Amino acid sequence: MRSLDPAVEVVEFTPTPEQYAWTFGGAAPVARVRPGTALRLWSDDAFCGRLRSVTDLPGTALQMPFVNPQTGPFLVEGAEPGDTLVLHVVDFEPARDWGASALIPFFGGLTSTDRTATLQPPLPERTWIYHLDSERGTVGLDLGDVHLDLPLEPMLGTVGVAPAAGEVRSALVPDVFGGNMDTPELRAGTTVYLRVNVEGALFSLGDGHFRQGEGESCGTAVEGAMNSLVLVDLLKTPGPAWPRLESDTHWTVVGSARPLEDAWRAGQVDAVGWLAGLTGLDTLDAYQVLSQVSEVPLANAVDVNYSVATKVPKRLVPAARPAYGGVHGRLRALVR
Amino acid sequence: MRSLDPAVEVVEFTPTPEQYAWTFGGAAPVARVRPGTALRLWSDDAFCGRLRSVTDLPGTALQMPFVNPQTGPFLVEGAEPGDTLVLHVVDFEPARDWGASALIPFFGGLTSTDRTATLQPPLPERTWIYHLDSERGTVGLDLGDVHLDLPLEPMLGTVGVAPAAGEVRSALVPDVFGGNMDTPELRAGTTVYLRVNVEGALFSLGDGHFRQGEGESCGTAVEGAMNSLVLVDLLKTPGPAWPRLESDTHWTVVGSARPLEDAWRAGQVDAVGWLAGLTGLDTLDAYQVLSQVSEVPLANAVDVNYSVATKVPKRLVPAARPAYGGVHGRLRALVR
Amino acid sequence: MRSLDPAVEVVEFTPTPEQYAWTFGGAAPVARVRPGTALRLWSDDAFCGRLRSVTDLPGTALQMPFVNPQTGPFLVEGAEPGDTLVLHVVDFEPARDWGASALIPFFGGLTSTDRTATLQPPLPERTWIYHLDSERGTVGLDLGDVHLDLPLEPMLGTVGVAPAAGEVRSALVPDVFGGNMDTPELRAGTTVYLRVNVEGALFSLGDGHFRQGEGESCGTAVEGAMNSLVLVDLLKTPGPAWPRLESDTHWTVVGSARPLEDAWRAGQVDAVGWLAGLTGLDTLDAYQVLSQVSEVPLANAVDVNYSVATKVPKRLVPAARPAYGGVHGRLRALVR
Amino acid sequence: MRSLDPAVEVVEFTPTPEQYAWTFGGAAPVARVRPGTALRLWSDDAFCGRLRSVTDLPGTALQMPFVNPQTGPFLVEGAEPGDTLVLHVVDFEPARDWGASALIPFFGGLTSTDRTATLQPPLPERTWIYHLDSERGTVGLDLGDVHLDLPLEPMLGTVGVAPAAGEVRSALVPDVFGGNMDTPELRAGTTVYLRVNVEGALFSLGDGHFRQGEGESCGTAVEGAMNSLVLVDLLKTPGPAWPRLESDTHWTVVGSARPLEDAWRAGQVDAVGWLAGLTGLDTLDAYQVLSQVSEVPLANAVDVNYSVATKVPKRLVPAARPAYGGVHGRLRALVR
């Protein structure tokens, strides 16, 4: 795991099962953090570690609605509604040597669900176990005659703050407050910007994925317990309408809604505004530039809201100003 | 207003503005009620009475997110998760002699919104005031040369219970817990069945409409303060997956989701199951019957989820058993 | 069947199977008609009469894509692109004493389809036969212990003109040119307005339904051969963007698109414009009125595009001018 | 431009404006080709070259519906319904030194449209001209103080065959027959597999893009006239349900539908079947693998149907058999 400038205070936190949070909003903070602090956090997998072999099936092993446990929430000192919470992901490290994926009845993208309801019976349940090979950086899966070694590409499915308007949302939900966006773009080296809705922001994270395809087709990734090293910062400037991500190479907005085109529209409109602000272009010129440069990988098409990432490659817009006063670069410089 | 058998205990409740609830879940009960009791409730309009003339525009007169105030929640004694809460609407009576409707920027069906996002500017704000003529049973609207007298058809936009899984949802949301379904089917004489998710059910209601078109196109009905007389009952039998309504003439399911076809699918699948249960038909025969008899008026296409009503006319399925042990008829018999 | 003023010329046409049209556009006209003429037309059912007993299953009895045969197209003399074709439905009469409905694999509303694709197997095939009782005006269905007698409510699923831009569309498609809208609003006494796209308009009709629920849930109505008596007229005024219907009681627009909210939006926007034109109200006032008066029954949620009807009750807007110069009333006056 | 093994016969074709095809299906073939032949084709840009400066605005310069002209159709000798048409893109080369993009009223992703209809006025029209710098491999755009040099990444927006069931579709439509998919995945080095629907397949291509962002947000890419060198082949094995692409690195399926999730579902289900066939995995294991490996870039969210690409990286599934008998590799080997 990458390390940090020794001047940075690092706070470690591993929740007990009783401390797991199941919602955004509605949970008491587990700790207070000062902007500028780093957190080294352990999070359980989305199944609470209950799927350990292919004979552990979701219907019997899981205890709904207690899935997707969050580590947190953390109260950020000084955070007020409207501010920008900044979370820079220094690194992710699998916290177990195995991950699990599963088919859950009437859940996922290529089955009918409680909303996309049909009269067909559900697909069968099935559980898959992946074995981590840290040296080769792979997760291995045995499927009879076929063995797969897939690159380890750790990410978090879920990071978010308490919602506005007094709402409390399940940790399965992605929306304007972040949450279960399930985007592979949330990898190490990424800075997340979230609008603060309540005093203290109350952010939490979880749902580690050792890897995930874009769309998370079957509804579950290679779910695994994760250690996350995250730098926390706070800007007293207006937070974004939708979660924004920044890496060394891209500015990204993640829209979440149904139908899928609305997730895309919401993220795109925010990206046009961001791009206009960074370049001084008017809205229509920014729309034109976005039309020719954006990379748009699907995040998930399986959650309560679907999520789509709109990515703008920085190299294609060299004249742009640094975003959010260059905070991404400043935080990145603290990483060794 | 219709009256009740004198043996029925009637509890009156009018909230102070401080008692308004803005969410389903997350609010302390304002009172306890025993099954078998009637409630006579006053509810403010969705604008909190702040739009009183055409010069009161939403952008300045409303204080977001404090809209759609709920009267309640009420704790129903003995209600446990999984039970069926039964609410029979004895009558509605406008509680003011005027109602209001308004165009709110980026809200409604025929404008872009925060989700169906576009780069176009919003439509202008506008407020309309309707005058109640109780004797003629109309609401009148003056539009320059055109004067309209529309029939008074009072209904509630919102009735619901606390959600499952610890969630707290804005009173603007319709979902499996009921909420802001905005269906004109929720008129006097209707029995509502809702699945209980928490001890005491914690139901509330509000969002009176003096009338509303199907779809609530512009996002607001003829919004008005309302007196509601409601009989409360409880069945210790499994509650429905989606809100169900029963009148003397129809069994109705209200599905709420996005896109709109998912709202329809969800309600239809529940209606197939209900119809199969009431008739003894197998699922596919019930599907066939529903296909030829269902009436499907749009409820709303403007809220956080869209809502569609699937109605089955009782006269077309004369062999069906009474629903929920005939509770609708028993409650109806208490009305004078 | 209702009869016509004897001054009206009535042309009869019954296609041979070789004359069936399977598309809108792309078929040579079977006859020319002068505006002012009436047509008495026989149309086969959507299954080409191949489902005659419950043992005739779609997979073996039907010969795809030869379903939904159209009677026509008819070349309307003088019709030019941009004109308004007027078709007044004088009456419908079942042309057989039985109708059929069926479950077709991966087709319908409560199953996955080729577009709403899942990995689940299809629902089983099943065929239902309804028996017409002309005296009682019912169609009867035997389902083991349950016998249903449903009111005969004849309608056409399909009426349309040749599309614009040289397109040829399957008779299963509803769109701006009309087509397979599958709306129960297309009943006797209704005037249909369609924009002409090609010289001669080239309209056809078919897909008789002895009755249909709103939404046509399983994908097929009580499909039956039908005799239709239709008055044909032509207005040299601009045709509507979407198919419009007029009855003695309602002005109706049928939008067709996916997702379902887009079908609704398209029809609603056209209805706002129509209402503004009929009343002199500005667009936003017309939007307000529509919001409080519109009735919005689902037409179908199963076809290539979904269809939704937006209906405006005439009695609620008494100051409105007659639509299209009062042609509905003039044609209606020819009916005895 | 890359060249071909001299044994390959190369046929050149440049249409006159009178030869442009505006539809898939419904146009007479411009030439016959034998499988194994290469075609060197010129195609005009989607605007027919009518937008040449920023003062050429779509509303006055374009002549609807004459946009997106196709070069073709070509009759492939021996092609019969159900076969697999194989088109290997050897190379693309801009055929003009400038490209154009434009905002067209009520067209594009971040505006209301004729389907996603609202009452808002359209965005203003605007045209942008890009200048090709062949040496640097860029297209340049001047936006006042901001100058952009974007990498030339040529692709075709449109390639397709005549539809099934006698349909004729506008060249603006993407669907199972291919058509206006607008996916940047259709770049040089790609093999396209399309199911043949009519004798001779009747394929055409056009809509060259010098580059395009994923989603084609504003509705138009950097539209440019293009020279395409394409190898044509034919397999007498069953063609795919949806257009499939193969490159040296990926197997890709492009689904096209509305809403966007249906485009995704359709392509994903076909990809699961393809992956199962290539690996011998059962359907659920293939679903699991797809869930962890698929890359899902949006193609377009602006056309008559939206399109999504589901890509499977070959390196992650090393045990897979070659697709379609290895035809991609055989055609690739003919390229110098």
**Residue range D99-110, pLDDT digits in tens:** 999 999 999 999
Closest chain D CA to residue C65 = D165
* Whether B191 contacts B327, CB under 8 Å: yes
Cβ A164 vs Cβ A186: under 8 Å? no
Q: Which 8-state DSSP code applies to residue C25?
A: S
Q: In what order do the strands lie in the sheet with A306-313?
A: A10-13, A38-43, A226-235, A84-94, A191-195, A244-246, A250-257, A306-313, A298-300
**Torsion over CA: D187, D190, D191, D193 (sign):** negative
Q: Tell me, what amino acid is at B336?
A: R
D112–B119 C-beta distance less than 8 A: no
- Contacts of residue B268 in chain A, CB cutoff 8 Å? 117
Q: CB contact, 8 Å: A292 with chain D? A: yes
Question: Strand, coil or helix: what is B12?
Answer: strand
CB contact under 8 A, C65 and D118: no
Does A126 reach chain C within 8 Å, measured CB to CB?
no
Residues D125-167 have pLDDT tens digits of 999 999 999 999 999 999 999 999 999 999 999 999 999 999 9
Q: Touching check for C3 and chain B: CB below 8 Å? A: no
Single-letter code of the amino acid located at D199: E
Amino acid sitting at position A62: L
**DSSP string computed for A89-142:** EEEEEESSSEEEEEE-TT-SSSS--SSS--SSPPPPPEEEEEEEETTTTEEEEE
> Which top CATH class is A10-235?
mainly beta
pLDDT, tens only, D193-230? 999 999 999 999 999 999 999 999 999 999 999 999 99
pLDDT at D1 over 90: no
d(CA C322, CA C325): 6
Is the pLDDT at C1 greater than 90, yes or no? Answer: no
- Residue A306 CA, chain-centre distance (Å), reads 13
Question: pLDDT tens-digit profile of C83-130?
Answer: 999 999 999 999 999 999 999 999 999 999 999 999 999 999 999 999
Q: Are strands D155-160 and D146-151 parallel, antiparallel or unpaired?
A: unpaired
CATH number, domain B244-320 = 3.10.28.20
Do D214 and D302 touch, CB atoms closer than 8 A? no
Q: Of C233, C234, C221, C209, whose CA–CA distance to C92 is shortest?
A: C209
Beta partners for residue D101, in sequence order: D128
Q: Which of B67, B115, B180, B268 should one mutate to test binding to chain A, selecting the residue with the greatest count of A CBs within 10 A?
A: B115
Helix or strand run (H / E) with residue D254: strand D250-257
> pLDDT for A199-240, tens place per residue?
999 999 999 999 999 999 999 999 999 999 999 999 999 999
What are the structure tokens assigned to B164, written together?
């499952």
How many angstroms separate the CA atoms of C312 and B110, rounded?
17
Cross-chain residue pair C119–A111, CB shorter than 8 Å: yes
CB distance A298 to A215 below 8 Å: yes
Q: From the list D217, D272, D316, which residue is nearest A290 (CB)?
A: D217
What 3-state DSSP class applies to B272?
A: helix
**Superfamily of domain D244-332, CATH level 4:** Acetamidase/Formamidase-like domains (3.10.28.20)
Share of chain B above pLDDT 70, in %: 100
Tell me the count of A-D CB pairs closer than 8 A: 190
Contact check, Cβ <8 Å, C287/B221: no
d(CA D62, CA B335): 67
CA nearest A257 in D: which residue? Answer: D261
CATH dotted code for B10-95+153-235: 2.60.120.580
Whether residue A1 has pLDDT greater than 90: no
Residue B9 sits at φ, ψ, to 5 deg, of -75, 130
Q: Which of residues 250-269 of D touch B (CB under 8 A)?
A: 259
Quick check: D286 pLDDT over 90?
yes
Whether domain C244-321 has CATH 3.30.70.260: no
pLDDT, residue A212, reads: 98
Per the CB < 8 Å rule, is B167 touching A23? yes
pLDDT value at position B1?
87
Touching check for D111 and chain B: CB below 8 Å? yes
On average, the pLDDT of chain B sits at 98
Euclidean distance between CA atoms B179 and B335, whole angstroms: 25
Query: At D59, which amino acid appears?
Result: G
Is C6 near chain A, with CB under 8 Å? no
pLDDT, position C253: 98
Confidence of residue C203 (pLDDT cuts 50, 70, 90): very high
Give the helix/strand (H/E) hosting C265. helix C260-279
Burial pattern D89-128, b for ≥16 Cβ within 10 A else e, equals: bbbbbbbbebbbbbbbebbbbbbbbbbbbbbbebbeebbb
Instruction: Return the percentage of chain C with pLDDT > 90, whole number.
Output: 99
Residue D294: list chain A partners with CB under 8 A: 213-215, 217
Domain ranges across chain C: 10-95+153-235, 244-321
In this complex, the chains that touch C, judged by 3 or more CB pairs closer than 8 A, are A, B, D
Burial class (CB in 10 A: 0-12, 13-18, 19+), B134: exposed
E strand spans, C163-238: 169-170, 174-175, 178-179, 191-195, 203-211, 222-223, 226-235
Residue showing tokens 């030194």? D97
CB–CB contact A148 D317 (8 Å): yes
- Please list every residue in chain A whose beta carbon sits closer than 8 Å to the beta carbon of residue B284: 119
The span from the CA of C101 to the CA of C97, in Å, is: 14
List the single residue in A259, A266, A284 with the smallest CB-CB distance to B117. A266
Q: Are B246 and B325 in contact, with CB atoms under 8 Å apart?
A: no
Rounded Cα distance, C48 and C17, in Å:
9
